[in-house]
Structure 1
Amino acid sequence: MKKILVTGANGQLGSELSVLSKFYPEFKWIFADRKKITLDNLELLQVQLDKIKPDIVFNCAAYTAVDKAETERELAFTINYSAVELIAKYAFKNDLKLIHISTDYVFDGSSSNALDEDAETNPVNMYGKSKRAGEIACLQENPNSIIIRTSWVYSRFGNNFVKTMQRLMQERDEINVVNDQIGSPTYAADLVQAMLDIIKFSRWIPGIYNYSNEGEITWYEFALSIKELGNYNCKVGGISSSAYSTPAERPRFSLLNKEKIKATYNLNVPDYKKSLKKMFI
């Protein structure tokens, strides 16, 4: 029985994988939280990997505090770059399958066309730079890796935009949401299903892939969809990014082109609104 190690067990992707794992009893599942897999301590991480001896690794763990990364640069790079480099080396040495999760924040947002996997990367904040460094290390140390770039992830678990909007729309009469950042949300349950479909596929085709739900929207339009599906009375206004100052700059445009992953692994990518409705059932 092959053993799947899931890092970031308590995060959105890890939690959704935990739900789906019961439908895949052919695998032995190891869900690793920060104690079982310690990404900020590389010596301990090596020991932990040697002890677990996985056959497949889903690296869902990451430093994701975008604004804090501007001041916690060393920690962000340790987790998003150095630990990924070590995991990739381990996977290559032991002939494991590795799926590493990355982000749309590797782009600078200057494009106006959906970004494919070969689009030029130019991250505009420390989080994006640390994730891009992790991508490069992952492929250099293990060319057999699969990297999946995703965007605007939400789920029933953890903290995310959808849950924040649901709460605020019930607490307040009016909220404002940025209306000049364009992309597409990703329902975590859809992404982890795609990951499982990939490892069950007849062939393993390494490289970088994009995955998010279909649709091209702003955060403001996303909030309007949440309001509609939740039947909330809160008034939602749109504001520019310049009116909502944050320590870390965000890419203005990060819509991902999903044609490669759909064609290679014969995946169906749901429309964002269809997946969003699942949060309200």
Structure 2
Amino acid sequence: MKVLVTGVKGQLGYDVVRHLDARGIENKGVDIEDFDLTDEAAVRGYIGDYKPTCIVHCAAYTAVDRAESERETAFAVNVTGTKNVALAAKDVGAEMMYISTDYVFDGFSKETPWEADDPKNPQNVYGKTKYEGELAVQKLLDDYYIVRICWVFGKNGNNFVKTMLRLAETHDEISVVNDQHGVPTYTYDVARLLCDIIESHKYGVYQAPNEGDTTWYDFAVEIFRQAGKGTKVNPVSTKEYAKMNPTAAARPKNSRLSRKTLIDAGFSRLPDYKDALARYLKEI
């Protein structure tokens, strides 16, 4: 196996390479300095030269709010860029793993976890681009994995945990929404699972959050509890929060992802998010 990992400077790509290295699997992590995803010739040329047997496509435009005003850029990276990687994978006969998101669902029309085959109805530009990326992979390739994750935190890059810890240094109290539900997901845990999946060659669509169910408010409380911070967290509704801090993109109230396809394929569930948070805080 010879694996190319895009977005190696991001949270997930960084951890995928860590796990591949630990398993002794030949790999190369690439980022924007290596080639521009939106340049088809550059993508196909680089991948054609490296000739991987599997591509784990972690690179993406992930600025959810900014995507509303930078629509063309978001589509260029997440849709055109993904098509270019899929075409390159087809050129060299490689499998492709595409990392997607709970934002492909509408986030409002059901209160139970989203099943992998539930109707897709993204409510913001970011979600639309990620869903179109899924469709591109499915159209162009037979040997693919699509893995949806949510509420991600990892060593590289910015995330909710780091934001909370930073706010705790300057605020005695903060307000966090308490009516958006999901599961915080540690990239180190997901990356291990991704490696298990590509080694299995069990193609399909998977959803891979950590275990548990919480709100952003309860997650913030847990972060401060484990980190030994005394910052007070005030619960507010999404509507109330929007009045204080307007956001350009709609946020889902239900980000829960069913793990059924993962379990049916024989893969192990990820650890509870509280356990993952404890390990993450030690890492950083």
Q: Whole-Å Cα distance in 1 between the matches of residues 259 and 203 of structure 2? A: 16
Q: 1:92 Cα shift?
A: 2.9
What is the aligned partner in structure 1 of residue 165 from structure 2?
A: 166
List aligned pairs for 1:17-32, cutoff 5 A: 17-25=16-24, 27-32=25-30
Q: Whole-Å Cα distance in 2 between the matches of residues 210 and 159 of structure 1? A: 22
Q: 1:21 Cα shift?
A: 3.0
Q: Secondary structure at the match of 1:22?
A: helix
Q: Whole-Å Cα distance in 1 between the matches of residues 59 and 84 of structure 2? A: 14
Does residue 227 (structure 1) correspond to residue 221 (structure 2)? The answer is no
Instruction: Please tell me whether the aligned partners of residues 16 and 189 of structure 1 are also in contact (alpha carbons under 8 angstroms).
Output: yes
Q: Secondary structure at the match of 1:175?
A: strand
Question: Alpha-carbon deviations, 1:149-190, whole Å to 9, x = none?
Answer: 100100122100011111111221011111111111110001
Identity %: 38
What is the aligned partner in structure 2 of residue 264 from structure 1?
A: 265
Question: Alpha-carbon deviations, 1:220-240, whole Å to 9, x = none?
Answer: 111011011011000011112
Unaligned residue ranges in structure 1 (runs of 5+):
none
Q: Whole-Å Cα distance in 1 between the matches of residues 172 and 46 of structure 2? A: 49
List aligned pairs for 1:1-281, cutoff 5 A: 2-25=1-24, 27-110=25-108, 111-201=110-200, 204-242=201-239, 243-244=241-242, 245-281=246-282
Question: Alpha-carbon deviations, 1:39-79, whole Å to 9, x = none?
Answer: 13223222222222111111000000001111111111111
Unaligned residue ranges in structure 2 (runs of 5+):
none
CA RMSD of aligned residues (A): 1.3
Instruction: Please tell me whether the aligned partners of residues 198 and 265 of structure 1 are also in contact (alpha carbons under 8 angstroms).
Output: no
Q: Structure 1 length normalisation: TM-score?
A: 0.95
Q: Whole-Å Cα distance in 1 between the matches of residues 262 and 35 of structure 2? A: 29
Q: 1:5 Cα shift?
A: 0.4
Q: 1:191 Cα shift?
A: 0.6
Q: Whole-Å Cα distance in 2 between the matches of residues 106 and 268 of structure 1? A: 22
Instruction: Please tell me whether the aligned partners of residues 57 and 96 of structure 2 are also in contact (alpha carbons under 8 angstroms).
Output: yes
- Please identify runs of 4+ aligned residues in structure 1 that moved more than 3 A: none
Q: Whole-Å Cα distance in 2 between the matches of residues 96 and 266 of structure 1? A: 22
Q: 1:11 Cα shift?
A: 0.2
Q: Whole-Å Cα distance in 2 between the matches of residues 15 and 140 of structure 1? A: 28
Q: Whole-Å Cα distance in 2 between the matches of residues 271 and 95 of structure 1? A: 37
Instruction: Please tell me whether the aligned partners of residues 216 and 255 of structure 1 are also in contact (alpha carbons under 8 angstroms).
Output: yes
Aligned length: 277
Q: Structure 2 length normalisation: TM-score?
A: 0.94
Q: Secondary structure at the match of 1:13?
A: helix
Q: Whole-Å Cα distance in 2 between the matches of residues 19 and 83 of structure 1? A: 24
- AA partner of residue 115 (structure 2): D
